[in-house]
Structure 1
């Protein structure tokens, strides 16, 4: 998808010196070192990393040892942590990811290239490539969320709940984010429905390292509620 917005002044292309990679972390000892190593390797250490952490395991200590900025926070849910992570750094491009080694850090250059092509939001689309590593119930739920979001937005959406996206800083600063469990859907739908230029980029998706604490049914209900709420608010 791509939507036209106001033209912006010409500027030099962003590099990884202009990028912050941010994530919420919760007991990710099994994956944190792999994820941070992958980010450092792909960006030659140029991107800075921000983790908002509510762990009871050594995740924050490991992240600090590897050079990440760690903001410790009492566990309050996915959206609270990720919203804090997004708004903390001041670099002009913000990339969100999860800290469970499911997302392909090797595709970070493609995300940055697409931002440099003029898009405001680049959203990783896991489902177009099958997402075979995703549990069946999650995959079916995510396809249903995409259909619901598409109907509300009036624009085809393929993956509403992906955790890997790149944003121009002005997008995340200009919109008030309200959702918690459903924040990932909100982070796509509000920019899309406000005519920012949005592009969905197919990505690979791997089996997660460690265990998830999200109940797929309770979480799914919360996400569906968020999609409906955000879609109706944007129409109104």
Structure 2
């Protein structure tokens, strides 16, 4: 899934020194240490890590102990935290991830290689390998979100709500992000509908550590609403 209208790749290749890994965190003390250790191991400690945190547990303390930059804010929802996180770093490539240890940080080199190959956005497709660790109702919902977005955009996508993506920094800076619960879908749909080079790549998905904060029914309705709203806004932009 790509076009020829995206941002031109720079002459020199990006390295881990150009990479920031960002996430919104909320009471993830059980998992955050493992995630940050994985990032550090994979990037040899060279990637910048930014956590936007609204926790009441030890999450921010653990993140700081691992060398992450922590921006504290009152809990306002997923999108508010992640939007702050993706706009905070000044490195050329920004990767989003969740802090529940479900995403494979060992794929960071592959995502960076795709950016160096000319991609503007690289999106991790959790459903490609079956996502067996994902609760059945969540898996069904994610499949339906992808189908809805595909129909509205007239472009096939496979996982609209994945939390692991790589972006060129200029892409996330150029677009005005508006969604909260549905920000993951928006972060895929707006660049794709504007002709950027957006690529989905299969990734493994593991069982989360800690409890989920999103109600599958009310949250699902919000995400579906975001998909419809973003598609219509982009179509008539």
Q: TM-score range by the shorter chain?
A: over 0.9
- Partners of 2:9 and 2:118 within 8 A in 1: no
- Find the aligned partners of 1:45 and 1:69 in 2 and give their Cα distance: 13
Using structure 2 for the length normalisation, give the TM-score. Answer: 0.98
Query: Runs of 5+ in structure 1 lacking a partner?
Result: none
Which residue is equivalent to 1:121? Answer: 121
Structure 1 residue runs of 4+, over 2 Å off?
Answer: 6-10
Which residue is equivalent to 1:156? Answer: 156
Calculate the aligned-residue CA RMSD, in Å: 0.8
Which residue is equivalent to 2:134? Answer: 134
Q: Residues 7, 37 of structure 1: CA spacing in aligned structure 2 closer, same or farther, 3 A cutoff?
A: closer
Q: Per the alignment, in what secondary structure is the counterpart of residue 129 of structure 1?
A: coil
- Find the aligned partners of 2:97 and 2:140 in 1 and give their Cα distance: 21
Which residue is equivalent to 2:191? Answer: 191
Residue 100 of structure 1 deviates from its aligned partner by 0.1
Residue 8 of structure 1 deviates from its aligned partner by 2.3
Counterparts of 1:95-110 in structure 2 under 5 Å?
Answer: 95-110=95-110
Residue 29 of structure 1 deviates from its aligned partner by 0.3
How many positions carry a matched residue from both structures? 236
- Find the aligned partners of 2:149 and 2:11 in 1 and give their Cα distance: 33
- Which is further off, 5-14 or 137-146? 5-14
- Partners of 2:115 and 2:122 within 8 A in 1: yes
The answer to whether residue 74 in structure 2 is matched with residue 66 in structure 1 is no
- Partners of 2:6 and 2:119 within 8 A in 1: no
Which residue is equivalent to 2:54? Answer: 54
Q: Deviations over 1:112-151 (max 9, x none)?
A: 0000000000000000110000000000000000001111
Q: Deviations over 1:61-115 (max 9, x none)?
A: 0100110000000000000000000000000000000000000001111100000
- Partners of 2:7 and 2:120 within 8 A in 1: no
Which residue is equivalent to 1:85? Answer: 85
Residue 6 of structure 1 deviates from its aligned partner by 5.1
- Find the aligned partners of 2:4 and 2:229 in 1 and give their Cα distance: 24
- Partners of 2:9 and 2:116 within 8 A in 1: no
Query: Runs of 5+ in structure 2 lacking a partner?
Result: none
- Find the aligned partners of 2:127 and 2:42 in 1 and give their Cα distance: 24
Q: Residues 64, 9 of structure 1: CA spacing in aligned structure 2 closer, same or farther, 3 A cutoff?
A: closer
